[in-house]
Amino acid sequence: MDIFAKCYKPSIADEAREREIYPYFHALESRQDTEVIMEGKRRIMLGSNNYLGLTTHPEVIEAGVHALEKYGSGCSGSRFLNGTLELHLQLEAELAAFLRKEAVTTFSTGFQSNLGIVSAIVGLGDYVVMDRENHASLYDACRLSFGKMLRFRHNDMEDLEKKLASIPESAGCLIVTDGVFSMGGDIANLPEICRLAKQYGARVMVDDAHGLGVIGEGGRGTASYYGLEDEVDVYMGTFSKSLASLGGYMAASRRVIDYVKHASRPFIFSASIPPAGCACALAALKILERSPELPETLQERALFMRRKLHEANIRMRESNGERIPIIPIYTYEPIPTLTIAKELYERGVYVNPTLPPAVAPGECLLRTSLMATHTEALIEEAVGTIADVLREHRIGE
């Protein structure tokens, strides 16, 4: 059998192209901002993870340009060997202080961070216990490790306890959860997760990619939001969202960080974050440190948009995080979802259509996300357009 045979089977992407509703790879012709130019037209951007709007901040851009001039375009090696810059060390020290952890190490991407952390910590005979709605990178991380993965129903603490109770006392166990879930925009039940971890002798890792800069004291994330910074053993996060760059990080005790730096294949065998990216993330972090009002503004924008959607009788996915800037709107089935996303795009609003397996069958969504720099006027304009299109498709009636 030809191994390429699978590549030629009919797919939802093929059907979407035939119907001219294919939603992916639209070309951005301007900066990542609240309003962008995509394929020659102005669009309100409701599909970015640029939560604090810092990708266009003059200080962030200046830092990147200066680093490019001083250090060149890349490091040409891994952190383990020749690829460690003083900038990497500055960023790690600053981030560790901000997150109130002993140490931080950085990875080239957020996806790679999860691969590198979990595969290093979870070994043969160990268990990793995962929320079913965790990010795809965590699932791949479990596959890369030699441990056994168990999944519990989303935010279901009774099911989590059943899984923990089934694990032999002699086995190591890591509970892994998103802090803020990227599709639903809801928040993990971290107090109960930490309580169960103590009861069953497990450790806790939080993927806070969508929590940093969004919730917690001054934007410190999910553990801070609950006052559990000392109870969470490992934080993971990214620079591609609130910190307006590219890369990822792990925050933990100094000893655990040192172990991962010497045991993680994705860390050891990957080139380090380029100088400009590192400098941009550091500049964005400094802005966040001195501007605690930025996460507060972001949360206010989320509340405002939810209120406007509710007034327009638009059904959103239920969430325990009404201040989270990820707002999923139900569209139910794949083809209508893609059709609606295409019509919104043509009318000047960019959103992300979300289909199975990212969501359950029959629960397709338009995933919208906000920035602190969105104005209320822009949000009202976008909601008006969304309401018009959904009404035309008789969704929500």
Active-site residue (options: 163, 241, 308, 342): 241
Beta strands in the chain (DSSP E): 35-38, 41-45, 103-107, 127-131, 148-152, 173-178, 203-207, 234-238, 248-252, 326-332, 349-350, 352-354, 364-369
**Residue 210 a catalytic site member:** yes
What region, left, alpha or beta, does residue 205 occupy, with left being phi > 0 and alpha being psi -120 to 50 degrees? beta
Query: Of 191, 164, 189, nearest to 175 (Cα)?
Result: 164
Alpha helix positions (H), 240-333: 254-263, 265-268, 275-290, 293-311
Catalytic-labelled residue, pool 135, 210, 308, 342: 210
Q: Which amino acid is at 30?
A: S
Q: Catalytic annotation on 241?
A: yes
Q: Count CB-CB contacts under 10 A for residue 269.
A: 11
Residues 54 and 34: their CA atoms lie apart, in Å, by 11
Which listed residue (48, 108, 119, 182) is catalytic?
Answer: 182
Distance CA 59, CA 110 (A): 23
- Pairwise CA distance, residues 379 & 373, whole Å: 11
Asked if 308 is an active-site residue, the reply is no
| Residues annotated catalytic, as ranges | 182, 210, 241
